[in-house]
Amino acid sequence: MPGLLTRVACSAALVAAANGFVCSSTGTAATWSSSRGALSMGSSMNEKWPLKNDLLVRAAKGEKVERTPVWLFRQAGRHLPEYNKYKADTGKNFLELLKDPEDVAEVTLQPVRRYALDAAILFSDILVVAEALGIEVEMPGGKGILVPRPLTGPDDLAARVPASIDVNVELAHVISAVTRIKEELQGRVPLIGFSAAPWTLMFYMVGGSSKKNTGEGQRWLEEHPEASARLMDLLTDVVIDYLEAQHKAGADVLQVFEAMGDFINEEHFYLSAMPRLERIAAELKRRCPGVPLMVFPRGAGYSLAALQRAGYDVVTLDLSAERVALKAALERDAGSGRPSTLQGNLSPALLVPREGATVEEQKAEITSAAAALLRDIGPQRLIANLGEGLGGKESPELVDHLVNAIHDLSQEMIAAAPAHAAAAAAR
């Protein structure tokens, strides 16, 4: 989308220049380049703005917290009146907002201003990596994100997708946005950087949509195993570089979204998706020591123990997960080591206004669901979240109630724990 880059990328030139990036426009395209060692900025950003609220970072590392941290998948975006107003005021659609670091920063910060959330997450999309590799992405109204010209076979892959890219050039507008967000947060909460996982990216690049041609990804794995391996390995390299760059620009925590686990069978998941997820974890642990890694294998909950063994500090439960059984299984798998922190897995349906129910009735249901989550997993080694992202119809009042309920209930549970322990010992 070169025309779009030209229109919006250089509007963030002052932001980018402050972070060491230069935007230049020639003809119909704009390019970003690093003018100095901007990608070594993460540690200096945290020295400049030490975290005032580090609950999520501590929970991710398995450390004790005084209350359970909470953030929400897709917490920025359509459910917020301020987001819809901002889109209308700027005249930009979702994909256009992603191209401008100023817009990305504004939308990232909106939910943190409204709610007592314990983290901000970069406002972006899982397909920016595919775009950086030259794959066109569209967002026609009401149809979600689409790849209009998916890869048709190995020859098409060789012709259209480069053998490598420099994420500090192709995704420099995202990296610049990360640093701008850190500057504006001023240590209020940690910033989560993220990327789609290689299988999820391949799924879209060869199938085009989450609603049609959903069997194309696995067909490629079966019919084009060598080309699939080349593509998955390339995507793995890019994801590692991209997440490292986000950390160096200021991201405190890194999240990997394996969003399309429903569309790959277990055998192929372990043969193709898991080795790449393992390499991502190993390489990021080497390149970004001490930075918590989170993973969400939606639709592939059977892989949580393997992902724990791979080194992910936080593993995420989707809506189908049986919390108590999974927690016990992960603790057994960890043996004498530290089990991964759990993240999830409340239903966003709780937050959608329901005909025939009063607000107070729905708030009571939310409180009950929050209490059940905390009872099933415990308030420690837990990051409260949803089992899938907000869809846009949620009530901000109900979202706010959920965030506060998690905080209040968990704080009470943690404060009461020593007294309960003492009473049990005396019996």
| Assigned token pair, 181 | 């967000």
The counts of H helices and E strands in the chain are: 20, 9
Domain residue ranges in the chain: 41-426
Confidence of residue 144 (pLDDT cuts 50, 70, 90): confident
Output the six-digit token pair for 87: 């889109």
- What confidence tier does 420 reach under pLDDT thresholds 50, 70, 90? low
Q: What is the residue-wise DSSP string for 219-275?
A: HHHHH-HHHHHHHHHHHHHHHHHHHHHHHHHT-SEEEEEETTGGGS-HHHIIIIIHH
Q: Please tell me the least confidently modeled range out of 108-117, 185-194, 412-421.
A: 412-421
What pLDDT score was predicted for residue 421? 58
Average pLDDT of every residue of the chain: 90
Instruction: For residue range 376-400, list pLDDT tens digits in order.
Output: 999 999 999 999 999 999 999 999 9
pLDDT tens digits for 24-69? 333 323 333 333 344 456 667 778 889 999 999 999 999 999 999 9
Phi-psi sector, 394: left (phi>0), alpha (psi -120 to 50), beta: beta
Tell me the pTM: 0.89
Alpha-carbon radius of gyration of the chain? 21
41-426: CATH number = 3.20.20.210
